[in-house]
Chains A and B, each alone.
Chain A
Amino acid sequence: MKNYGVLSLCLSFILSANLVWGSAAYFIPTEVGTSAGSVRLGNIEGFSDTSSSTLENPAGLYRLNKFSANLFSTTFMEEINYQNFSVAARLPVGVLGFGYMSAGVDGIPNTGSNGSDASTKSFYVLNTFSYQNRLFKVAYEFSQNENLHLGFSGTYYSTTLGTVSGSGFNADAGIEIESGPLVFSIAAKNIIPSLKVNYSDTTSANYSQSEELFLETFYGAKYKLDEFTFYGQIDIQNSNKKLLKGLAVDYSPSFVPYLHLSLGYKEFVVLQAVKNNITAGLGLSLSGVNFDYAYERSDHILYNNKHYFSVGFSF
């Protein structure tokens, strides 16, 4: 009875939080994916066996045995470097995880202008600056019983763009329910709508702006059937009021149980339009060491391939 009470409380909190809609969005680097393992599954989150659950659904940390660490990296357009690192350890009172992710761009020109007439004015480079977007997460998971698992995490956001910098805090909550071959995952990110990322400028005392940390909720399911595992997810993004679907299948042949081949379908939002993409990849799991690779196409004119790599170990 107590379990159902906790579950009802968490579910009602997540569902009621979904009713809050906002208007401006902060770019969260985990949007590109939290690990190659999730990207190759169509960016379906919450079913990782590693510490990367810290960055997804903290309730998913229940799958850890004792300790796990994970590294993830990808580069877009030879310009934007995404990296993350996560660790998690099982303690007597639950699982504690720490995650860090960053996105960075260097060599952005800070420009000036000469003249005002179109025929005579010219632009020039004053200097260059960098962009750094970082997030830090601390997650905690505890299990009500062997089927019901709850998790919470706190996130600190930080962005630097030249002389402008911003920071903010918010929290995530998640539930995972396991029933035989079926696992449900529900996660809500940025559940406190009043908290924002606030910006200031070191060169202007009057500058004060903010960006919203929009609520995003994930409803996912995983079903294992022999050598295949099927995944499905609905992602509700409050920033653009879109409902995005994800589907994936993972095949692990019985004669090579350490190999995983996967194919995923994901939807994502570009400005106000919903687009979709196919992802593919493979995973290797040998003696607690995991390697994941994911691939997806891009519509970029020059860099039309995206590659993702993750490596981690668990014991």
Chain B
Amino acid sequence: MKKALQLWGIRKENSRGGANTLAFLFAVCVAILGFSTPCFSQELSIDQLSFDQVVGNVVGLHDYLQEIDGTDNNLNTTLRNSEEVLIVKSFGFVPLKSDNQNAVTNSLSAGFDGNNSEDVRLIQPPLNYPNPFRQVEGTEIRYSLSGNADIELQIYDMRANLIYKQSYIGSTNGGSEGINYIKFSPDTFTGTSLSAGVYFYFIVTKGRVLGKGKMAVIP
């Protein structure tokens, strides 16, 4: 079962002498940022996530990681979800408007993507059958995904023009874990007769190309 978790607004009142701690926390945050850069490069789909809230008093990143890990492993967290990806959404330090001018709040938002399309891959290269095929008879593209993901199928002609685009929601045919079949009927291309030649299809998730194939149309 995929585990999901999020924490917002961890607060710690730092004393005037806590500069070293602050520097340490900052270094840890930078390290986390460095390791999780790919996660930041793409927008997290909140609507696909399911989070459990961590509540209670946690102090700094150490306690935060300890809380979600359940063990004190000195920041060497081994937390994993089924996709083995911990996504750090954001973190930062914000000065508190209080009498204590050195008090800061550090915040970190993290979670496990229950539908982590960043890690989804094709188990086998996509193929269409029959190939070559006549447009009036149609063809079928088959591909196998390692997990659920929102998939977009794009088809280009020989001038590199996009002639067809169709989206498939994760867990439905086209975007579900395992084998997916996409059928092309004669009407798929808005009733237009395709010229004989080669067409290129791309399996895409969130702007990332998972795989591509070539289909040949004969008259």
Contacts and interface: CB of A to CB of B under 8 A. Distances in A.
Interface of A: 23-27, 31-32, 76-77, 79-80, 103, 105, 107-113, 118, 122-125, 129, 131, 133, 159, 161-162, 164, 166, 199, 201, 209-211, 268, 270-272, 275, 298-303, 306
Contact of A300 (B162, B179, B196, B219): B162
Given A270-B162, A303-B160, A161 B214 contact: no
30 contacts: A25-B195, A32-B159, A77-B200, A79-B214, A80-B158, A109-B131, A110-B131, A111-B130, A111-B131, A118-B181, A123-B127, A124-B127, A129-B216, A161-B197, A162-B132, A162-B216, A162-B218, A199-B218, A209-B218, A209-B219, A210-B219, A268-B161, A270-B162, A270-B163, A271-B192, A275-B161, A298-B160, A300-B160, A301-B207, A306-B160
Given A272-B190, A301-B154, A105 B127 contact: no
B115 interface: no
B26 to A, nearest CB: 38
Interface string B151-194: 00010111111110000000000000001010000000110110
Given A113-B129, A125-B127, A77 B156 contact: yes
A111 B181 CA distance: 15
Contacts of A166: 196, 219
B116 interface: no
B19 to A, nearest CB: 48
Contacts of B163: 270-271
Interface in B118-169: 127-132, 142, 154, 156-163
B198 A25 contact: no
A125 B142 CA distance: 12
B200 A24 contact: no
Given A76-B159, A123-B128, A302-B209, 4 more contacts: A80-B198, A105-B214, A164-B132, A268-B159
A202 to B, nearest CB: 12
Most interface-central of B129, B154, B196, B214 (chain A CB within 10 A): B196
B196 A199 contact: yes
A302 B197 contact: no
Contacts of B91: none
A26 B130 contact: no
A298 B216 CA distance: 22
B214 A109 contact: yes
B218 A23 contact: no
Contact of B196 (A23, A125, A129, A211): A211
B219 A199 contact: yes
Contacts of B207: 301
Given A110-B132, A164-B132, A303-B160, A79 B209 contact: no
Contact of B159 (A24, A26, A31, A129): A31
B193 A122 contact: no
Interface of B: 127-132, 142, 154, 156-163, 179, 181, 189-190, 192-193, 195-198, 200, 202, 204, 207, 209, 213-214, 216, 218-219
A236 to B, nearest CB: 18
A211 B219 contact: yes
B216 A131 contact: yes
B160 A27 contact: no
A109 B213 contact: yes
Given A80-B198, A211-B196, A302-B209, A270 B129 contact: no
B198 A108 contact: yes
A23 B131 contact: no
Contacts of A271: 163, 189-190, 192
Contacts of A109: 127, 131, 213-214
Contacts of A24: 193, 219
B197 A164 contact: no
Contact of B198 (A105, A299, A300): A105
A166 B195 CA distance: 12
A112 B128 CA distance: 9
Contacts of A118: 179, 181
A108 B195 CA distance: 17
B111 to A, nearest CB: 28
Contacts of A76: 158-160
Contacts of A77: 156, 160, 200
B41 to A, nearest CB: 16
Contacts of B214: 79, 105, 107-109
A272 B130 CA distance: 26
Contacts of A113: 129-130
A106 to B, nearest CB: 9
A123 B142 contact: yes
Contacts of A79: 198, 200, 214
Contacts of B193: 23-25
A159 B195 CA distance: 11
